[in-house]
Amino acid sequence: MAGLHDKFGRAITDLRISVTDRCNYKCVYCRTGNEGALYGDLPFADYLRMARVLVGMGITKIRLTGGEPLLRNGIVGFVRELAKLRPQGLKPPSSAGANGTAEGAAFHATPSLEIALTTNGHLLADMAQRLKDAGLDRVTVSMDAVDPDRSARITRVPNGFDHVLAGIRAAREVGLGPVKVNCVLMRGFNEDQIIPFGMFAREENVIVRFIEFMPLEEGRTWAPSTVVTLDEILARMSEYLPVMEIEHGRSETARRYRFEDGIGEFGIIAPVSHPFCGHCSRIRITSDGKIRTCLFSVWDHDLHAQMRRGAGDEELAEFIRGVVMKKEERHHIGEADFVPASRTMVHIGG
C-alpha cells in the first residue's frame, strides 16, 4: 500500500505540528492547573525536516498548532518554507504507464499539500495577510462564546473578545477560508451559546464547529456530566431554525449541518458521544519533537532524538513507519479501562 498506514489499514495523511506549548490564554477547559509551558520548542528547521520526510511518506495536510502558534516569532517564515514542500511545477505523469516510474511515484507521493493553522485568534488580525502571502490555506479560530464577558470568563483574558473577532474577520477578508470557529462546549459555562453561535455563523459567514469537552485538561476535572453532547446541540439548534445534515469526508472529525434556508453551516465534533476513531488519519508532533499517534496516547516517540543522533532521512522514515504501526485503535473515554493521556491538550496541540 503506497503511503503511510497503521496496522488497522488507516491511511495517515494528516500531520499536526505543535510549534510551542506556550499560550497567552488560560481557557477553563484546557489550562485548569498552573503547568504553564513545560516542554519548550525547537528551531523551525527541525520541524521543517520532520515535515519534509513525512510529506514524502504521504502526508497531504499539515496543521500548525500550539499552545498558541502565533506566539512564535518566525511562524510566517515557517509557513513559507512549508509551502515550498508543495509539488512546484510537478506535472501529472505524462502517461498512465508512467505511474510506476519515479515521475509517477513523485507525483503520487505529494499530490497536494494543504497547510492550515489553529489559533486563539488574539494575534491574528495583524498577521492574516502575511500568513496568506506565505502560503497558508486556512485558519481555525478557537472562540467559546459570542459574548465578551462570557468569553473573558472562559479564557480568563479580559478584553480578548474584540481581538479574536477582528482576527476572524481579517482571516475571512484575506481569503484564509472558509474560516472555521471552534467552540468547546462545557456544561455550566457556555451551553447557552449554541443558538447565538448559529446566528454568528450566518452573520459572519464562518463555519462554527462545536466540540464535545474531552478529558485532556490540566486539572483533570473532566466528568461525563460536563459534556454537552451532539444530540443536545442538534436539538437546541433545531429550536432556532430547521437544520439538515450534509455529507462529510470519511476522516473528517466534524459532522456537518446546514440551515435549511441555505444560510450558514455548522459542525459538531463529538469524540465522546460519537467517536470517529475508525477513520482517524492523524498523527501529531509535539513542540519538543515527539510523535503522538493519538490524542489520548500514554506514550511519546522521540523523533527529535533520532535527529540529534544523526539519523538520515530514510532512517527517520523507518522510525516513523514503526511508530505508526503502534497507533492506538481508538480512545477509551468513559470506559472502565480509560487511562488519561500522558500529556494535556496545551502540550499536545489538538
Interface positions with ligand SF4 (CB under 6 A): 271, 276-277, 280, 282, 294-296, 328, 330-331
Sign of CA dihedral 225, 327, 291, 69: negative
Cis check: omega of the bond before 36, within 30 degrees of 0? no
**Grid coordinates belonging to 171:** 482571516
Smaller CB separation from ligand SF4, 282 or 304? 282
CB of 235 to ligand SF4, least distance (A): 24
Smaller CB separation from ligand SF4, 179 or 227? 227
Smaller CB separation from ligand SF4, 80 or 330? 330
CB of 263 to ligand SF4, least distance (A): 31
How far apart CA 295 and CA 306 sit, in angstroms, is: 22
How far apart CA 23 and CA 68 sit, in angstroms, is: 5
CB of 256 to ligand SF4, least distance (A): 17
How far apart CA 272 and CA 215 sit, in angstroms, is: 9
Query: Residue ranges of the alpha helices (H) in 38-74?
Result: 44-56
CB of 340 to ligand SF4, least distance (A): 13
Smaller CB separation from ligand SF4, 84 or 279? 279
Smaller CB separation from ligand SF4, 28 or 333? 333
CB of 148 to ligand SF4, least distance (A): 32
CB of 211 to ligand SF4, least distance (A): 12
Q: Are 18 and 348 in contact (CB under 8 A)?
A: yes
**Grid coordinates belonging to 48:** 521543517
> Which residues, 6+ apart, have CB-to-CB distance to 294 below 8 Å?
280, 327, 328, 331
Dihedral of the CA atoms 311, 314, 317, 322 (nearest 10)? Answer: -80
**Grid coordinates belonging to 303:** 523523533
Smaller CB separation from ligand SF4, 291 or 295? 295
